[in-house]
């Protein structure tokens, strides 16, 4: 064996001069090294670690064992998981169109140039986005309160009985309201920025052709910001699937309405932190991640194809 290897080393030695190329490749690493290191540490490592975790099962009795894909098959048959996914899908189907619709309407209004105090409205509508989600939810939680909150005060002052926003039937809509309040401004800004870059010559041409405002919107503005619409939709889809802050902060106020498996993220959180089922939780999280990716990708493909 050794004798066989020797010629190989001998051969490589004379080939040293081209070794310069070797050194050059290290220089390249020097440049991308910092990126790769951070990328691996904060992006790849957690994913790899989650996948690794998801292949095991740690039981109170029996300890930690390798179970292969068992967690995944279990998750795919998990009614609680599918119910929570159904809940956020409903949320997505109802809340996202409303939110984006309002945002688009405001962006168009601001862009129309016919609004008095445009800069004030732009800032005022964007402001809720600057409020941390946790604070915003707490604030809304106080308002929703039927005993000592705003709803309670209204009931008291006017002698009416408003429906309880935190009841089982209404709590999803109440969460939707909070999320809409938070993100209308953000989406509005995306749309508004996209509207601002449309060349003015197009509007002039439209005017010459005798197009009205509605016509300008449908024929120029909307097609021009399609990219922004698609992006905002994708962000909103991801946001809906990741719904967590609002239900988890409202839960102490409505324990019976907001279950520990209310949204997929909240479910993984409960599995992990209440049930100490980190492994199963990792599997559910990965499945959820894949579903989100697929749906976001489909929307992107569709959105882009229409744009073409």
Partner 1 sequence: MRRTTSRLLRGIALVSTIALGATACGSGDDGDSKKPVSSGDVKAALEKGGTIKVWAWEPTLKTVAADFEKKYPKVKVELVGERSGDKHYTALSNAISAKKGVPDVAQVEYFALGQYSLTKGLTDLAPFGADKLADKYTPGPWNAVSDGDAVYGLPMDSGPMALFYNKKVFDKYKVEVPTTWDEYVEAARKLHKADPKVYIANDAGDAGFTTSMLWQAGSRPYKVDGTKVKVDFADAGAKKYTDTWQKLVDEKLLAPINGWTDDWYKGLGDGSIATLATGAWMPANFVTGVPNAAGDWRAAPMPAWTAGDKASAENGGSSLALPELGENEELAYAFVEYANSGAGVQSRVKEGAFPATTAELESDAFRNTEFEYFGGQKANEIFADSAANVADDWSYLPFQQYANSIFNDTVGKAYVSDTKLTDGLKNWQDASVKYGKEQGFTVE
Query: Which residues of the chain form contacts with partner 1 (CB under 8 A)?
Result: 25, 29, 36-37, 39-41, 44-46, 48-49, 52, 59-62, 147-148, 167-168, 252, 255-257, 259-261, 270, 273-278, 280
Task: Rank residues 111 and 164 by Cβ distance to partner 1 and give the closer one.
Answer: 164
User: Minimum CB separation from partner 1 for residue 79, in Å?
Assistant: 11
Query: Quick check: 126 and 134 in contact, CB under 8 A?
Result: no
Q: How far is the CB of 133 from partner 1 (least distance, A)?
A: 20
Considering beta carbons, is residue 65 or 213 the nearer one to partner 1? Answer: 65
Q: At what angle do helices 171-196 and 118-130 cross, to 10 degrees?
A: 130
Element (H, E) at 199: none
- Is the CB of 221 or the CB of 251 nearer to partner 1? 251
Q: Minimal distance in Å, beta carbon 155 to partner 1?
A: 13
**Residue 27, burial from CB neighbour count under 10 angstroms (0-12, 13-18, 19+):** exposed
For residue 300, the minimal CB distance to partner 1 (Å) is 25
Q: 192 or 269, CB closer to partner 1?
A: 269
Report the half-sphere exposure of 51 (CA within 13 A, side-chain side).
7
Closest distance to partner 1 from the beta carbon of 51 (Å): 11
Q: What are the tokens at 154?
A: 């209204």
Closest CA to 76 of 276, 265, 269, 280: 280
Nearer to partner 1 by C-beta: 166 or 194? 166
Q: Which two tokens stand for residue 89?
A: 């899908």
């Amino acid at each position: 064996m050794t004798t066989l290897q020797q010629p190989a080393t001998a051969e490589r030695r004379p080939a040293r001069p081209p070794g310069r190329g070797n050194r050059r490749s290290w220089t390249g690493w020097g440049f991308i090294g910092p990126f790769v290191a951070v990328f691996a540490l904060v992006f790849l490592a957690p994913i790899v670690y989650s996948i690794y975790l998801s292949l095991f099962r740690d039981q109170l009795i029996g300890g930690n064992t390798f179970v292969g894909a068992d967690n995944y098959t279990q998750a795919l048959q998990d009614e609680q998981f599918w119910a929570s996914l159904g809940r956020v899908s409903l949320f997505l189907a109802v809340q996202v169109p409303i939110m984006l619709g309002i945002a688009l309407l405001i962006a168009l209004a601001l862009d129309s140039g016919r609004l008095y105090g445009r800069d004030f409205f732009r800032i005022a509508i964007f402001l809720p986005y600057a409020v941390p989600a946790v604070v915003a939810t707490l604030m809304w939680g106080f308002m929703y309160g039927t005993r000592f909150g705003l709803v309670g005060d209204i009931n008291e002052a006017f002698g009416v009985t408003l429906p309880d926003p935190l009841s089982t039937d209404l709590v999803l809509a109440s969460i939707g309201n909070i999320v809409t309040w938070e993100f209308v401004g953000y989406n509005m800004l995306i749309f508004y920025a996209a509207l601002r870059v449309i060349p003015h010559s197009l509007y002039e041409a439209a005017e010459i052709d005798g197009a009205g405002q509605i016509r300008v919107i449908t024929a120029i503005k909307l097609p021009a910001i399609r990219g922004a619409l698609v992006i905002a939709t994708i962000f909103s889809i991801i946001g809906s699937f990741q719904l967590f802050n609002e239900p988890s902060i409202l839960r102490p106020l409505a324990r019976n309405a907001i279950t520990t498996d209310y949204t997929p993220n909240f479910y993984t959180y409960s599995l992990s932190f209440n049930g100490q089922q980190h492994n199963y939780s990792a599997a559910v999280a990965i499945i959820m991640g894949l579903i989100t990716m697929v749906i976001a990708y489909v929307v992107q493909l569709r959105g882009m194809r229409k744009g073409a």
